[in-house]
Structure 1
């Protein structure tokens, strides 16, 4: 039952992404009065406005989504120019070969993280924002620099693991709170994004060079790319949506274990919390 509850909250958190994929599928099969990429841009803007007006996204979360759009669009402009992938269709809203709707694919990731943070009442133990932020910045920079400098992806992975060592992300399912290593959550989310990428390329959202003419499964190396990109996304959301407040060393809560009803969680004996009470973070007992 807890697994069902968790899956349901995860599904609700993916509302923006599901709607985005639905638009991709419809744009692929339905006749449109304008170019497909242009229609997708209009649809993505409308989706963001509707979700905000309906209360599914808060004003701050919409700002985070907009920031994800900018960060993602910058990466797209560079990668397309470098020949990593392409957008073959014509459109009025293409800039340097990149349709402006593409930034909303990254915005969908940002929306998921904002929603999951709120719905699962996420908290962090042993989180080091400066070290993790520096590692995430290094990860993002390597996406650009490896085209003319040595690829330091392995170094980026090691740096990220070192920065998040013993860092746990806690989440609430029903009345119980659980925890898992933060790095593991990056890998799990990255895996689902890789699966989503396969669906997106199958629907013609973009294509890799080896997919020109005939669709193929996205190379497994993209799994690590997505897991690393998730770390960048997480740092942005943690800083802008609900800054994490550390309560005690991470060793006080074991990974992937039930830590009891959320209202009964307390710092380990002898650990003084930084807050004036015993809460993990904003509003969570």
Structure 2
């Protein structure tokens, strides 16, 4: 295959796999837009409650049809709990960082339970993309450092309303901790790589795009949007970047990071280095050249079944 055809093939495959990874978030965003324009104003079920039931039903269907693993569902639950706690604080009368303008029955304080699923969509994406692209890492920092960092990030989401905002120092600490880290993702038969910080920034950018769509659809509003909708300031991207760090480390609870070989990372072969917890990482033997495979396990990439991102059987 020529270099150009290889590039086009992997670019197309990248899009297919990404679409599979963000299926839950894409579903929620679609339903948010549809209900914005077509949900009856006099419906007996409030819009937020309706979206909550849709989110639960969609998650159940992903598990039922084995398009999502129990571990990934656990990530979603963790995200829902962590995010709902922050939402209750941020929307309280004393803070009022944003508000949910429509009524609801199922909720806590000023927060509809559906709100937690919007954060869970980020967690679902990270857990699924980790599996589908068979992530590997180089220069991944020790686990205690990552947990200390995300603990400070989460605390700052609350404390900056009362004291100094540490957003920029925490961003600088993140860059210092991860500036050497590379993320390896399997496109076809081979792992490609990019700086982990770049990957986080790109995902944060797309979350910012989704946030603009959601606020336009009236799911929540910031004080500056109370009278007329306007785009969310680009500076909000910094908060989403820090949220990505928190999301990634939480996902690492159930998606065990594996390290790549330091002296030959471009081969896409894991090494017998120790992983982030100090344990020896498993090293699958090389693929037999006599075995023919579908490139990139494309059959699984289309449907996103659990296991689609795992390496093919090794012999």
TM-score by length of 1: 0.89
Partners in 2 of 1:138 and 1:182 — Cα distance?
20
Pick one of 68, 72, 78 that aligns with 1:61.
72
Question: Which runs of structure 2 are paired with 1:145-156 in the superposition (5 Å)?
Answer: 145-156=159-170
The 1:278/1:51 distance shift into structure 2, 3 A limit, reads: closer
Encode CA deviations 1:5-29: one digit per residue, 9 max, x unaligned: 1121111111001111122122222
Note the aligned Cα RMSD (angstroms): 2.0
- Cα deviation, 1:49-96, whole Å, max 9, x if unaligned, reads 111111111111111101111111111111111111000111111321
Select the residue among 28, 38, 61 that pairs with 1:20: 28
1:173 corresponding residue in structure 2: 187
1:49 aligns with 2:63: no
* Matched residue, 1:97: 110
State the partner residue of 2:14. Answer: 6
TM-score by length of structure 2 reads 0.81
* Alignment gaps of 5+ in structure 1: 254-258
Larger radius of gyration: 2
Unaligned runs of 5+ in 2: 1-7, 275-279, 286-308
Q: Which runs of 4+ in 1 moved over 6 A?
A: none
Is the Cα contact below 8 Å between 2:136 and 2:260 reproduced in 1? no
Give the number of aligned pairs: 270
CA distance in 2, matches of 1:79, 1:277: 42
1:135–1:163 CA contact under 8 A, matched in 2? no
Question: What is the match of residue 30 of structure 1?
Answer: 39
- 1:166–1:181: 8 Å Cα contact kept in structure 2? yes
Gap change, CA 1:126 and 1:252, over 3 Å in 2: farther
Cα distance per residue 1:143-166 (max 9 Å; x no partner): 111000100111101111122131
CA contact (8 A) 1:126 1:248 kept: no
Match of 1:83 in 2: 96
| Structure 1 pair 277–40 and aligned structure 2 pair: CA distance change class (3 A) | closer
Q: Distance in 1 between matches of 2:281 and 2:64?
A: 35
2:130 corresponds to which of 109, 114, 117: 117
> Which residue does the alignment assign to 1:224?
238
